[in-house]
Amino acid sequence: MRSVKLTPTRFSAGGYAVDSEFLYALLSTTQTRRPKVIFNCLRGVKTVSILYWSLRYGLLSWLNTVPTVSWEEFTNAIETLKNAGRIVENDDDQLLIVDDGQSQVELVTQLYPENLRERASEVHQRQLIETTLLAIQATSQQSYQAMQYFPLSVTEQARKQVRRWFRQPQQQPLSQAITNWLQTLSAADAQLFVSQLVGHEHPGLTFTQLASQLDQPEWQLRLRQAANWMSLVNFAEQLPPQDGLHALIKPQLHDRLSKSVRDTLAGVLQGYSREAISSRRRLKFSTVSEHLLTAAILLPMEDFPYQKCLTQTDIKSLLASEPANIDDWDFNQQEAVTDYFTFRLVQIWETKNGR
């Protein structure tokens, strides 16, 4: 009988996506960061405050990348880093890296490249995974003429979508489209993706199982797999609309801005003032402002009409009166008399200009 070391276990209790090493990659040695902002950013919460601070932290590309993260696992990760003396928490509950440990930013970006994780805020991830897995399961069982099987339990919405999709004529078999896509990945990533698929006599492996078989921490596999899903989304989107994979995945995508934000933005582009939009659309004035700030944060600079919302005077007077570090600007203490919208928008403008 082999002997096995029993105590203490070095494994983090299973199933967690946000490991302390992952969290470490989202913290800074120079900028104190609020854990609540990072947590809500990962979950995809789109309030102006969360979006703005995510932008300031340079973490906006992580928006909605781990929608299932729980506060418990998140705080566990914080505690682990604090207990190891690698981060400190200031009086304002903000976190700062204090050790000179190796930065994990490069590693997490390698696992989940920025161009892929940026897509996460445009995808209904749970719906994407459930419909795709169920469609693959149904197709797999059908290829064996096995009509009696235990279906994946998914939401009613996902089940209906797959059922509808399954009845449509397929231009190319789903297996072919998936294979074509897998060929664009590294052999290791393709293996990881396929290992979690469910089908005929192929029950799929869990992250925990894969972590021990591939000898890579679970949280790293989770990031790699998330990147795979976004890569699949990109691939499917470029297929012709009548393609089965395209038809399966298209309904899981959405604009990164809500319809209401888009409508407000369109109003500004047509030359209406915030007041006019507010009364025309019967929205609170503050809501209109929030819509525009949301759009300014989430859109590339060239897609937002800064010149229609800000004047050079606004920018200059704030820059003259506020501290050099934008993080230290305080709306309630400001000397240049401006409204909250202008104040925030200047901060966004300056941040996007590299400050």
Partner 1 sequence: MAVDPTHVKQNDPRLKLKQSDVDFARERQAALRTHFGFSDFHPGQAAALDGLQHGRDVLAVLPTGSGKTLVYELATYLLNRPCLVVSPLLSLMQDQVGRLNQRGERRAVAINSMMTPPERMQALQRLDQFRFIFTSPEMLLNNDVIQALRRLQIGLLVIDEAHCISTWGPDFRPAYRSLGTVREALGEPLTLAVTATADHQVQTDIEKVLQLSANHAVVRQSVDRTNIFLNVMRFTSRKQKNEALLTLVESSKKPGIIYFSSKKQADEWAQRFQVAGINAASYHAGLEATTRFSVQQQFMLDRLQVVCATSAFGMGIDKADIRFVIHYHMPSNLLDYVQEIGRAGRDGQQSIATLLVAPGDAQLPADLADLQLPDKATIGRVYAEHQPVLQSDPERLVGYYKEHGYGMDELIELLAKRLQSRRLALRKLMQYIDEPDCLRKNLLAAFDESAPSHDDHCCANSATTMTLSSLDLADDEPRVNLQLPDWQTQMRQLFSEKFIN
Residues 110-169 that bind partner 1 (CB under 8 A): 129-130, 133, 136, 139-140, 143-144, 147-157
Residue recorded with tokens 């929205």: 283
Q: Which two tokens stand for residue 59?
A: 């973490």
CB-based contact 230:109 (threshold 8 Å): no
Binding mask 214-233 for partner 1 (x = CB under 8 A): x-------------------
Q: Which is nearer to partner 1, 4 or 324 (CB)?
A: 4
Q: Smallest distance, Å, CB 146 to partner 1?
A: 9
Q: Coil, strand, or helix at residue 287?
A: helix
CA distances from 127 to 20, 194, 252, 254 (A): 27, 18, 6, 12
Q: From CA 25, how far away is CA 107, in angstroms rounded?
A: 8
Q: Which is nearer to partner 1, 176 or 234 (CB)?
A: 176
Query: Under the criterion CB under 8 A, does residue 2 sit at the interface with partner 1?
Result: yes
Out of 34, 36, 86, 200, the only residue in the binding site for partner 1 (CB under 8 A) is: 200
- Burial tier of 127 (Cβ tally within 10 Å: 0-12, 13-18, 19+): middle
R_g of the chain computed on alpha carbons: 24
Q: Which is nearer to partner 1, 212 or 242 (CB)?
A: 212
CA atoms within 13 A of residue 185's CA, in its CB half-sphere: 24
Q: Which of the 8 DSSP states describes residue 86? A: S
Residues 15-74 that bind partner 1 (CB under 8 A): 15, 68
Residues 67-86 that bind partner 1 (CB under 8 A): 68
Binding piece for partner 1, criterion CB under 8 A, among 198-206, 270-278, 311-319, 343-351: 198-206
Out of 201, 302, 328, 330, the only residue in the binding site for partner 1 (CB under 8 A) is: 201
Q: From CA 105, how far away is CA 80, in angstroms rounded?
A: 18
Selection from 232, 228, 121 nearest residue 174 by Cα = 232
Query: Under the criterion CB under 8 A, does residue 198 sit at the interface with partner 1?
Result: yes
Out of 24, 53, 57, 207, the only residue in the binding site for partner 1 (CB under 8 A) is: 207
Binding piece for partner 1, criterion CB under 8 A, among 209-217, 266-274, 312-320, 345-353: 209-217
Out of 170, 196, 234, 258, the only residue in the binding site for partner 1 (CB under 8 A) is: 196
Q: From CA 268, how far away is CA 266, in angstroms rounded?
A: 5
Query: Under the criterion CB under 8 A, does residue 244 sit at the interface with partner 1?
Result: no
Selection from 263, 192, 257, 255 nearest residue 225 by Cα = 192
Sites of contact with partner 1 (CB under 8 A): 1-2, 4, 6-7, 9, 11, 13-15, 68, 129-130, 133, 136, 139-140, 143-144, 147-157, 173, 175-176, 178-179, 182, 187, 190-191, 193-210, 212-214
